[in-house]
Amino acid sequence: MGWRDAAQASLRALENRDGRHPDPYLELLRLGVQHTEESVVVTLFLPGATVTGTVITLDEWELRTLRELKERSSGVRRVAGEAMQALDDRAQEQRTARPDTDSPFVHLRDVTYRSGCDQFSVRTWRGPAAGISGWTVGEPTPA
């Protein structure tokens, strides 16, 4: 998908005529990252927690997650390895393997999860856009 197609998908998301996007501006951000491959750090507000990380594409999330599974679990190592190889092959054939214009999920890397006094980091995060009650660009600063 070229930038013109991405612009059209972004316009459709903003218009949100079919109501598929709970937050069309968050969808616009996700589409922008999908098509420019630029890094954007966001903080997402969820019921009882905040999640801060860098927005990534579905393809990048899949590759990172499968690599992590392959590293950590001998039980799924062969399956994850075969899936990773197929994804790597597909990505080399065509950089934007799928348009990913209607994903109901937001994908992040280098994530900090905060809930109450607890805070921890994870490599990747995937959450439904419908579960996000608010968001902002950037990281929170201590008060």
Q: Look at residue 84 in the predicted model and tell me its pLDDT.
A: 66
Domain count, the chain: 1
In a domain, 142, yes or no: no
Digit-coded pLDDT (tens) for 92-119: 554 444 455 557 899 999 999 999 999 9
In a domain, 114, yes or no: yes
Closest-CA residue to 126 (of 105, 112, 111, 110)? 105
Digit-coded pLDDT (tens) for 48-86: 999 999 999 888 888 888 788 777 766 666 666 677 667
- Mean pLDDT, residues 117-127: 94
Its domain, for residue 133, covers 3-137
Q: Look at residue 127 in the predicted model and tell me its pLDDT.
A: 94
In a domain, 28, yes or no: yes
Digit-coded pLDDT (tens) for 15-26: 655 555 568 788
**Average pLDDT of the residues of the chain:** 79
Q: Indicate which CATH number applies to the domain containing 71.
A: 2.30.30.100
Confidence of residue 87 (pLDDT cuts 50, 70, 90): low
- Does 4 or 63 have the greater pLDDT score? 63
Q: Look at residue 135 in the predicted model and tell me its pLDDT.
A: 95
Q: Look at residue 97 in the predicted model and tell me its pLDDT.
A: 44
